[in-house]
Each structure stands twice: as C-alpha cells, then as structure tokens.
Amino acid sequence: MSAILFGRSVSLLLHLACWSSCQAQLVPAIFSFGDSLADPGNNNYIPSLSKANFPHNGVDFPAGPTGRFTNGRTTVDLLGEFLGFKYYLPPYLAPSTKGSAILNGVNYASGSAGILNSSGYLFIGRNPMDLQLAQFANTSAEIKQILGVEAGEKLLSQALYWVNMGSNDFLDNYFAPFSPIGNLSSEQVNALVLGTYEQQLTRLYSMGARRFGVAAVGPLGCIPFELTYTLAVNGTCDQTVNTQIQSFNVGLEALVNQLSSQLSGAQFTFLDAYTIVDTIIQNPSDYGFTIVDIGCCGIGGEYRGALPCTPLATMCDERTNYVFWDPYHPTDKANIIIADRFYYGNTTFARPINVFELVTMQL
C-alpha cells in the first residue's frame, strides 16, 4: 500500500476509534431513505422475502443479526459515526421508534425497495420510496408535536437527508423476469426512473429537507449475483448492465445539480458509489482486498451469488479479504471505504462537495 493510502487508512482508523468522544453531532438528525444497502431492519416488520435478520448476517455487528444486509455496518451507519452520532438510526417500523427516539433521526430504508413502486416485486413486501416519504411525513408531524412547530422545522431544515435508491429499479425490475417495465428501451427506463425520483426529492424538499446526500447506483454488472447468472468467466463484469447504470448515473448527477439550482435554500451533492466501488474492484490490493468477485456468504456457483446469506450458506473465513458480503451487498470493510469517500472524498467521489462540507456549510 502506498504511503498516502497508508496514512489515509491510519487517519480513518483514528477517526473511528474516537467516534464516541471526539466530537458532538454535526447535524441534529439524519433521515435515511433507501433499499437494502441502508435497511437497518425495517423489513423485519413486513411480510417480505427480502430479510436479513438471521445468521450469518450481522456476524461482526455488536447486536448480531438486526436485518442489516451485511456482516457489520451499513454506509449510513458509518456516516452517522463520522458525524458524531452515538447511536445508529432506528428503523421506522420498530415499535420503539417513537417519542424522543426520533429526534436524532430515523431510517426508512427497506430491502428490495425502489424509486418505482413496482421495483422489487419478486420479493413481495417492501416499502418503496413513495411509502418511505409518507412515513417521513408522519415522523415530521410527530417531531413538531414534541418540539413545537418552530423548533421542529428548524431541526428538519438542519438535518442531513441520505438517499440511496435506484439499484432495485434495474436489478429487481428492469433486468428481472416478467418486469412490468421490461418492454421499455434503456433510455425510456432511465427517463421514467429519473422523472419519478425528481418528484420524490422535490416532495422531500417541500417537507423541510435542505441538505441532501444522493448516492449513485453502483456497478451492478460486477456483483456476484450478476456474475453467477451471466455465467461470467474469470469474474468479468457484465458491461451491458454497467453501461446502463453509468448512463443512469449521468442523468442522476444532472438531476442533483438541477435541483440544487432550482430549489431555494437547498444543497444537493452527488455521491459517486459507482466510481468508488469500481476503483476498489480494479485496484483491490490498494485497499487490502484479495477477492472482488465472490460473495463471502452465499450459495451457488463459483461466485456464491445465486442465493443470499442464510444460516445454511457457506461463509468465508477471512471477511476482510472480501469486497462483497453476499450476492449483492458490500462487507463492513468495503462500506468503511465507501463511507469515507462520501464523507471526506474529493470531487472524484463526491460532487460538488463531500458530506462533511455539506453538513458544515451555511445555507
């Protein structure tokens, strides 16, 4: 590892080591919207085939299997640590997420959810973005009831809004069997998803959101699931899928910039998950990885990508060697790097500003 990368890693480890004592919260709350990349356990409370509240998931998380689709923490968990939060955001659907428990933020993310209501249909139950926004409206009203309207609106305007959506609109909709949008061209699908997303983000703004971190879709053509079902040779990524996602991300960044200029008092930033994950895959040794195409925990084929992590699945011995935890999701170690680039990164990874700059700027 180069001296620069080594120094960066030491800096990051020191930051994590002093998480609980080095700083106060930089924002009063975080409100998280997304899919299984951010779900802290909402799908535990709905009838869904998309669940992770059982081993080997959570093997490295202090509370064990909580419903997080990884061995440890999600990216939004880690961003909360960077921002000085002492506790992870509670899932909206947990019975205890009420009263004072909502004042530091809530996580609405749901495994298999998408921007389109139809996305994730093969998994039955999920809470799509439209429903997550309705849930946030309930939280917003409760916050104003607890704090009073003026103080509640101030908290909502100063909070960070984390949005990690889009993967399932392709992976579990457009690319899936019997898709209701499968007859559309790639350009039409991008236009449909981006048009819907614009309405949703504008709606979130109308409910008081001002600081938005919007994550790009990662290189889905490289995940173990896709490698397994395309019968990839030597872990070669599916470039047809990746080209579609890259085109979508170009449109998403343009949308983020458009909303920043159009919505008074708001600041959006585009967090380039595609470039971050692709950089790790192309240069694994720079980041301490040795395996970039096999899920640490999964079932099926050489990539362990056919079925997700369950107690019956094979789990790798050295999780820190793996980029992917299961057929779809990063490991805790990979999530640390992704969150670090979102939070501290230059414009290669976060544009026009990173998350630290987003939460410390005056609006």
Q: For the segment 86-120, what is each residue's pLDDT rounded down to a tens digit?
A: 999 999 999 999 999 999 999 999 999 999 999 99
Partnered with residue 307 across adjacent β-strands are 299
- 16 within 8 A of 81, measured Cβ to Cβ: yes
Q: Which amino acid is at 90?
A: P
Enumerate residue ranges in the chain where pLDDT < 50. Answer: 1-21
Residue 74's alpha-carbon distances to 34, 59, 64, 77, 100, in angstroms, are 11, 13, 13, 5, 23
The dihedral formed by the CA atoms of 285, 290, 293 and 296, expressed in degrees to the nearest 10: -140
Q: Which residue reads 């949005």 in tokens?
A: 163
- The domain 3-219+244-293+331-360 having CATH identifier 3.40.50.1110: the answer here is yes
| Catalytic center residues | 36, 326, 329
Q: Which residue reads 């890693």 in tokens?
A: 9
Question: Looking at the chain, how many residues does it have?
Answer: 363
Q: Which amino acid is at 60?
A: D
- Which residues are within 8 A (CB) of 152 and not within 5 positions of it... i.e. 6 or more apart? 140, 143, 144, 145, 146
Q: Note the pLDDT tens digit of each residue in 189-244.
A: 999 999 999 999 999 999 999 999 999 999 999 999 999 999 999 999 999 999 99
Q: Which amino acid is at 356?
A: F
Query: What is d(CA 145, CA 140) in angstroms, rounded to the nearest whole number?
Result: 9
Nearest residue to 111 (alpha-carbon basis) of 72, 164, 184: 164
Considering the chain, what is the average pLDDT of its residues? 94
Partnered with residue 350 across adjacent β-strands are 271
Looking at residue 24, its pLDDT comes to 84
Looking at residue 211, its pLDDT comes to 98
DSSP 117: T
Instruction: State the pTM of this model.
Output: 0.94
Query: What is d(CA 292, CA 234) in angstroms, rounded to the nearest whole number?
Result: 11
User: Phi/psi of residue 42, each to 5°?
Assistant: -60, -35
